[in-house]
Amino acid sequence: MNPIAMVAIGCTAIGGYLAWTVQEWRIDGIEAKQAAAMQQVRDQQRADADAASAAHEAEREAIRAQVAATIKEVPRVIEKPVYRNVCFDTDGLRLVRAAIGAAGHPGEPASTVPGADSPR
């Protein structure tokens, strides 16, 4: 075989190998950037979920405190002698109105968790 042809085949093989290696480096770099971006999105989603969970727990604690106060006051009001012939006295009506006002209108939606489009 011709020595020039062998050198040409060898150079082509080496060039192909180097091109393949450079292409792998480029693809690995792109994949690394994509993985970092996905990890950043997951971290942000986790932080958003943690914030929503904390807000939900705070709201639940506020509701628990309100229910505890209502449960504490109801026995005090219902033990009055007025309940023998009348359903509610002024204290009872005040408690019922306060409970209805705190619950909100049943046809109204509850507060929402901020979405991705809300400002942070």
Higher per-residue pLDDT: 115 or 71: 71
Domain ranges, ordered by start, for the chain: 3-103
- Average pLDDT score over residue span 47-68: 88
Query: In this predicted model, what pLDDT tens digit does every residue of 61-103 receive, in sequence order?
Result: 888 887 777 666 666 555 655 555 566 667 777 777 777 766 5
Two tokens at 47? 């932080």
- Report the greatest alpha carbon distance in the chain: 121
Name 55's Cβ contacts closer than 8 Å, sequence gap at least 6.
113
pLDDT at 95: 73
- Per the rule left: phi > 0, alpha: psi between -120 and 50, beta: everything else, 10 is alpha
pLDDT band at 13 (very low <50, low <70, confident <90, very high): very high
- Cβ proximity of 53 and 114 under 8 Å: no
- pLDDT of 3 strictly over 60: yes
pLDDT at 23: 93
Q: Side chain identity at 16, as an amino acid letter?
A: G
